[in-house]
Structure 1
Amino acid sequence: MSSSPSASPSPSPALSVRGSRLALIVVGLCWLGVLFDGLDMFIYGSVLPHLLETKTFGLTADQAGDLGSYATFGMLVGALTAGTIADRIGRKKLMVACVTLFSLASGICAISSSLEVFGLGRTLAGVGLGGLLPTAISMVSDYAPRGRTAITIGMLMTAHHAGGILSAYVAKWLVDPVGWRAAFWVCVVPLVFAPVLAKFLPESLSFMVAKGRTEEARELATRYDVELPAAAGKKTAADRWDALVGLFRGGEWIQTLLYWLASFGGLLLVYGVATWLPTLMRAEGYELANALTFVVVFNLGGIVGMLVAGRAADRFGAPRISAIWFALTAVGVFLLGVHMAQAVTMLVVFLTGVFLNSAQTMIYATVSIRSTPDNRATAVGWTSGMGRFGAVFGPWLGGQLLAAGNGDWGFTAFALAGVSSMVFIGIAALRSAKSDTPSGSERKLVTAH
């Protein structure tokens, strides 16, 4: 009953069932990691109305915007360095390190006695948050059941919005009776999850193959009933530079800049709204409890959006869906600045959540589709990286508007960012020489916040 590690027999039904169960464990652990990532990311926005109303640390609106940008700047650093670090220590160890880092950083926020210490905690948390998400996506891609990679990644991303929902309830249940510090102490709890990851999460198959641990990787792939990643040739610095330069050769520089500008506006919108939604809704006259309920509804919409965006792109094409989604997002965000009946506002918040997050996802899908295989990773990575500057700018912009007494313009400013992304991705799609007809390559969901 022994089998050679180098053999590749068709898995038996029993092995397939067992492999699927083991793969479910891997995906489940990554899902929990991303859940905690979302909790830590959204918790600041959820407690921000309380921090401003109580003038904690003498906090002003413009300083609050700066604090929101600290976390997103940390995420930029984490996202840009995650790949290099993972290539050295492995994806599993990096995930454990990221969970540990953002949990301890929340502890710094919880015990902080000054705005500077609190800002340090949010920056360090951002580094861990930015490093975990792309690493978790890589892990899930390795262990997803055969032919189910795209939908598995989509399911993984629902965890981020589930974390946003959890952050709203943590704030509703703890901030008024106990205080804002209790909310950040809850964000330290994932620290106990780090040893669970270290014990039960297997190493990335791609990492083991890249490090020459082929036999070990093959044994895991057989046991989990997943495909063994192909060994890729080691890329030199010159290869990576050539791939980047290729994005600007000929007329490609126009396409590249259009994608980058669309991503900038998209992530400005995503993180600006994530940070300021409860505060802006308070400014519109809603009670704090209702303002936090909007966070729950917004993230419920995000979960639905992640599950339906890929199917819509399969049928109508990712570039078209991205442009339409941004247009609908802009309308929804603008309407949030109009005081309507609460039930109508809830519906608008939900639909805005549906379209907002998946609109940005479709930018990555569009770039992936329009790129050649040899520079696809570079194109998507740099589009995401340039977009993260928008993620830094969005929270700052909201703070500046509120500090200047122009809070009513907050939703309008974010809506204009959605319009700009719609225009840029629309022009890029029209300029492309390739057909917009959906193809098999468009069915691969690309997700990278």
Structure 2
Amino acid sequence: MSSSPALSARGSRLAVLAVGLCWLAVLFDGLDMFIYGSVLPHMLEQQALGITPDQAGDLGSYATFGMLVGALTAGTVADRIGRKKLMVACVTLFSLASGLCAIADSVAVFGLGRTLAGVGLGGLLPTAISMVCDYAPRGRGALTIGMLMTAHHAGGILSAYVALWVVEPLGWRAAFWVCVAPLLFAPVLVKFMPESLSFLLAKGRTEEAAELARRYDVELPAAPSGRQGATDRFHALANLFRGGEWIQTLLYWLASFGGLLLVYGVATWLPTLMRGEGYELGSALTFVVLFNLGGIVGMLIAGRAADCFGAPRISAIWFALTAAGVFLLSVHMPPAVTMTLVFLTGVFLNSAQTMIYATVSIRSVPENRATAVGWTSGMGRFGAVFGPWLGGQLLAANKGDWGFTAFALAGVSSMVFIGVAALRGGRKSSGTGAQQELATAH
């Protein structure tokens, strides 16, 4: 029909709106995730709530433990209430939880707030990725997911500026009040975000899904052939350990554990460790900005590098470069050199972990792929819990200067595990088959 080009242009604009709303939600997710690490140096200096370094590490782990819970339950909850409602619930939860941190009068209450925030944070990211997959412009699903992942690091950059502009004049509580502001975004999601096409098809609402796909000018996902039962899920998990596959599976899990230990350990403790190296608070927060800028650049180039050289090889090399960069941060160098090093470490660190997921996805058979990637992510989340705790224990023992070394060793271990897994796998991987999945478990 003659009006179809106009309808297509309108649909593309609507699709951009849906993806843009997901991007903003993940931006707020990143802000809430990174704000604790950004304000932590000030809290320790002021002895806020009587927090000690080892308690600070525990509190950092509470959020990542909450993320583990949120990530593991997100799929089940979304299947029941829908992706859109879960996104709204997650934004509401981590916003209100930040309010609880802002009014906390004890370490226990503050810890409860961070745990609840983690549940919301852990549930939002996989749900937003699912929504983006449904509403990405035709033929641009991988690029759109990569762009979505940049929002998480943009939130980290925003957290540094919130700490820099708000904490000094108003105190640490003000930073957490800022993190309550995304609560105002929840009604926007309710009004403008469409429901997930995959969810509608799974519920048999095919006409509604077809209408949304037409309106947003996106491809309608394939209808699911049937719900996967508990027996099928157990069978898929058992397949990861049959024959010699158990060695490969454990290598992936160990690599993911070390990778996320490194990611969340550095994200939580970077400002504090840099202050321990003699940098002023403003400079320490500048390093947070550079680290997350590197993360954005890394997310955009990782897939291209994997296309050329293979995801396992890139992951191993990236972890080696990350370990070298993190270790060198313990050496006091000229500010310009240190800033460059922090940026490059951010480039390699975040995308090194992403390449583990790409490797697992590429080397898994289709019927086992979701289980393999999901469990690799889940095992890695235990490293995310352990990393912030480890940093706190080292500071409490007056061995904060060992923090960079400990995190560098985690990078070396992941390099070894993913490298051995790559050698055992034998099969070359180009990365192109997993572009849509390499961010799904981060």
Do both proteins adopt the same fold according to a TM-score greater than 0.5, normalized to the shorter chain?
A: yes
The equivalent of 1:70 in structure 2 is: 62
Alignment partner, residue 198 of structure 2? 206
Which residue number corresponds to residue 186 of structure 2?
194
**Aligned counterpart, 1:109:** 101
1:295 to 283, 288, 298: 288
**Contact map agreement 1:70 1:122 (CA 8 A) in 2:** yes
Match of 1:236 in 2: 229
Aligned pair partner of 2:259 in 237, 249, 266: 266
Paired with 2:106 and 2:235, the residues of 1 have a C-alpha distance of: 46
Distance between the aligned counterparts of 1:411 and 1:142, measured in 2? 40
C-alpha spacing 1:46/1:439, structure 2 compared with 1 (3 Å): closer
- Aligned match of 2:80: 88
Of 213, 228, 239, which aligns to 1:221? 213
Matched, 1:329 2:337: no
Q: Name 1:428's counterpart in structure 2.
A: 421
- Residue 58 of structure 1 is aligned with which of 50, 65, 85? 50
- What residue is the counterpart of 2:154 in the other structure? 162
SS at structure 2 position matched to 1:235:
coil
- The gaps in structure 1 that reach 5 residues or longer are 2-9
Aligned to 2:336: 343
Note the C-alpha offset of 1:225.
1.3
Residue by residue over 1:357-395, the C-alpha shift from the partner in whole angstroms, topping out at 9 and shown as x without a partner, is 000000000000000000100000000000000000000
Match of 2:16 in 1: 24
Instruction: Quickly say closer, same or farther: Cα 1:239–1:185, change in 2 above 3 A.
Output: same
Deviations 1:15-62 (A, max 9, x none): 322221111001100000000000000000000000101111111100
> Aligned pair in 2 of structure 1 residues 11, 329: CA closer, same or farther (>3 Å)?
farther
Q: Which segments of 5 or more consecutive residues in structure 2 lack a partner in the other structure?
A: none
Partner of 1:39: 31
Q: TM-score, normalised by structure 1?
A: 0.97
| Distance apart, 1:435 and its partner CA | 2.5
Asked whether the equivalents of residues 94 and 121 of structure 2 are also in contact (C-alpha less than 8 Å), the reply is yes
The answer to whether residue 179 in structure 2 is matched with residue 183 in structure 1 is: no
Counterpart residue number, 1:48: 40
Of the three residues 116, 119, 136, the one matched with 1:144 is: 136
Query: Contact conserved, 2:361 with 2:437, CA < 8 A, in 1?
Result: no
Distance 2:321 2:14 in 1: 40
Deviation digits for residues 269-305 of structure 1 (CA, Å, limit 9, x no counterpart): 0000000000000000000010001000100000100
Q: Match of 1:172, as an amino acid?
A: L
Residues paired across the two proteins, number = 440
| Cα deviation, residue 442, structure 1 | 4.4
Runs of 4+ in 1 over 2 A off after TM superposition: 10-16, 442-445
The 8 Å contact of residues 314 and 442 in structure 1, kept in 2 or not, is answered as no
Compute the displacement of 1:91 (Å).
Answer: 0.3
| Counterpart residue type for residue 272 of structure 1 | G
Decide whether the 8 Å contact of 1:30 with 1:140 is kept in 2.
Answer: yes
Contact 2:95 2:183 in 1 (8 A): yes
* Distance (whole Å) between structure 1 residues aligned to residue 181 and residue 258 of structure 2: 34
Sequence identity, in percent? Answer: 83
Question: Which among 417, 430, 446 is matched to residue 438 of structure 2?
Answer: 446
Match of 1:122 among 114, 118, 136: 114
**Letter aligned with residue 375 of structure 1:** N
- Residue pair 1:44, 1:275 contacting (<8 A) in 2 also: yes
Distance 2:26 2:436 in 1: 20
Residues 111-143 of structure 1: CA deviation (Å, up to 9, x unaligned): 011111000000000000000000000000010
The answer to whether the Cα contact below 8 Å between 1:261 and 1:424 also exists between their aligned partners in 2 is: yes
What is the CA-CA distance between 1:443 and the residue it aligns to?
4.2
Relative to the length of structure 2, the TM-score reads 0.98
Deviation at 1:440? 3.9
CA contact (8 A) 1:277 1:295 kept: yes
